[in-house]
């Protein structure tokens, strides 16, 4: 993403160290960033894509011939879809400066609201709109409480608790089964080609749309860029004359809508609305987000990497399942991978800094 990558061409590390008058235009002593630094920076920003590639190659050999197949790829994509939706919600929240822990509750309420509307004989679109609307309302409530100066983590823990209770109230202590009208966005497959290609499941399309729209929004549009800026330094954005609080609320609303969407897709997958809010959702999503290297301090990170984070989790559990390894080993693996990626990032960061320093020094020596 253009916001977190380092311009490698024409950006001289050492030559531009003197802000001063520009008597003659372009007197910059331009010098390219050392090659090794560009490579390291690339590894830092795109390392997760490389990691995913390596995993695929490894599993392709280890789980041959079952793993490296179109059908299996679709399975992985479908398995990653739910995690990816929640990870997008958590990720956008963190990038914009809020950790929204109420997502499982939002998902449960959205799913039950939709279930209620559908079982009371209303149109499908109305049920979906009501579910997403519930997400908007939750986001607004979270946001409006938080901008009064309360800690977002505590606030969303509170709303999580309220929402899980509310979902059960809406469902009257039961579930809403038999919501077959939602199949079109659940298990249904599109783009089928005769017998040769069984089609792509609906959630994959939804995830693709969410990530494309989200990425374009956060990097290309005014509101998206401001949202990211608020995540990095809300007070600075306020001092620049922007109503920063509105953007903090917007961050919560987006996160709420994505949580609701995740709940609706989960409901569609099993054609049943369940009021149980599972906190595991948030931890899986956080794992994907952390793998993507999204800094918890906010203002940094990119959605495509979050998507790959979710895909890596799904790839590992798929590969291990094919080999017949117990599923709990998958969580051991992802945990170890996460810790490993932290160490990797630290090493890369130090290497980059060292090289930049060395480059600066050598230029100064040349000048003397």
Which residues here bind another protein, judged by CB under 8 A?
Answer: 2-4, 6-7, 10-12, 16-22, 25, 28, 220-223, 225-226, 228-229, 232-233, 235-243, 299-300
Residue 133: CA atoms inside 13 Å, Cβ hemisphere, count? 9
Give whichever of 6 and 60 is closer to another protein, judged by the CB atom.
6
Give whichever of 237 and 310 is closer to another protein, judged by the CB atom.
237
Q: How would you classify the pairing of strands 200-201 and 189-190?
A: antiparallel
Give whichever of 16 and 57 is closer to another protein, judged by the CB atom.
16
Which helix (DSSP H) or strand (DSSP E) does residue 189 occupy? strand 189-190
Q: Taking the complex as a whole, how short is the minimal distance between the CB of residue 214 and another protein, in angstroms?
A: 14
Query: By three-state DSSP, how is residue 190 classified?
Result: strand
358-367 long-range Cβ contacts below 8 angstroms, 24+ apart: 359/13, 359/14, 359/33, 359/34, 359/37, 360/13, 360/14, 360/17, 362/14, 363/14, 363/15, 363/31, 364/14
- Give the residue from 215, 229, 183 showing the smallest Cα distance to 202: 183
Give whichever of 75 and 356 is closer to another protein, judged by the CB atom.
356
Give whichever of 218 and 257 is closer to another protein, judged by the CB atom.
218
Query: Is the peptide bond preceding residue 65 cis, with omega within 30 degrees of 0?
Result: yes
Q: Taking the complex as a whole, how short is the minimal distance between the CB of residue 284 and another protein, in angstroms?
A: 26
Give whichever of 223 and 354 is closer to another protein, judged by the CB atom.
223
Which helix (DSSP H) or strand (DSSP E) does residue 161 occupy? helix 152-171
Q: Taking the complex as a whole, how short is the minimal distance between the CB of residue 246 and another protein, in angstroms?
A: 11
Q: Taking the complex as a whole, how short is the minimal distance between the CB of residue 365 and another protein, in angstroms?
A: 18
176 phi and psi angles, rounded to 5 deg: -105, 95
């Amino acid at each position: 993403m253009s916001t977190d990558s380092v311009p490698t061409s024409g950006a001289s590390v050492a030559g531009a160290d003197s802000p001063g008058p520009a008597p003659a235009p372009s007197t910059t002593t331009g010098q390219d960033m050392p090659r090794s630094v560009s490579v390291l920076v690339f590894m830092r920003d795109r390392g997760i894509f490389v990691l995913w590639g390596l995993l695929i190659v490894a599993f392709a050999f280890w789980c041959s011939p079952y793993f490296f197949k179109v059908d299996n790829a679709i399975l992985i994509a479908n398995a990653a879809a739910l995690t990816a939706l929640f990870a997008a919600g958590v990720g956008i929240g963190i990038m914009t400066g809020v950790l929204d822990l109420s997502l499982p509750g939002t998902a449960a309420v959205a799913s039950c609201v939709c279930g209620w509307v559908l079982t009371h004989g209303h149109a499908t679109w109305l049920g979906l709109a009501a579910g997403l609307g519930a997400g908007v309302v939750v986001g607004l409530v979270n946001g409006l409480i938080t901008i009064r100066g309360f800690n977002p983590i505590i606030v969303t823990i509170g709303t999580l608790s309220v929402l899980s209770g509310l979902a059960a109230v809406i469902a009257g202590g039961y579930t809403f089964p038999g919501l077959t009208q939602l199949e079109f966005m659940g298990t249904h497959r599109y783009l089928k080609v005769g017998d040769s290609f069984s089609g792509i499941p609906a959630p994959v399309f939804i995830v693709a749309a969410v990530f494309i729209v989200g990425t374009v929004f956060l990097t290309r549009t005014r509101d998206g860029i401001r949202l990211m800026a608020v995540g990095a330094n809300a007070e600075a954005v306020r001092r620049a004359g922007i109503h920063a609080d509105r953007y903090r609320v917007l961050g919560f609303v987006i996160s709420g809508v994505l949580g609701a969407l995740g709940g609706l897709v989960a409901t569609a997958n099993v054609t049943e609305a369940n009021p149980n809010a599972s906190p595991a959702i948030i931890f899986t999503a956080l794992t994907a987000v952390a793998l993507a290297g999204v800094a918890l301090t906010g203002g940094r990170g990119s959605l495509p990497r979050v998507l790959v984070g979710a895909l890596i989790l799904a790839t590992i559990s798929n590969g291990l399942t094919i080999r017949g390894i117990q599923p709990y080993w998958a969580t051991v693996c992802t945990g170890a991978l996460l810790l490993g990626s932290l160490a990797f990032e630290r090493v890369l960061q130090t290497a980059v800094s060292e090289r930049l320093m060395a480059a600066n020094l050598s230029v100064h020596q040349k000048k003397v």
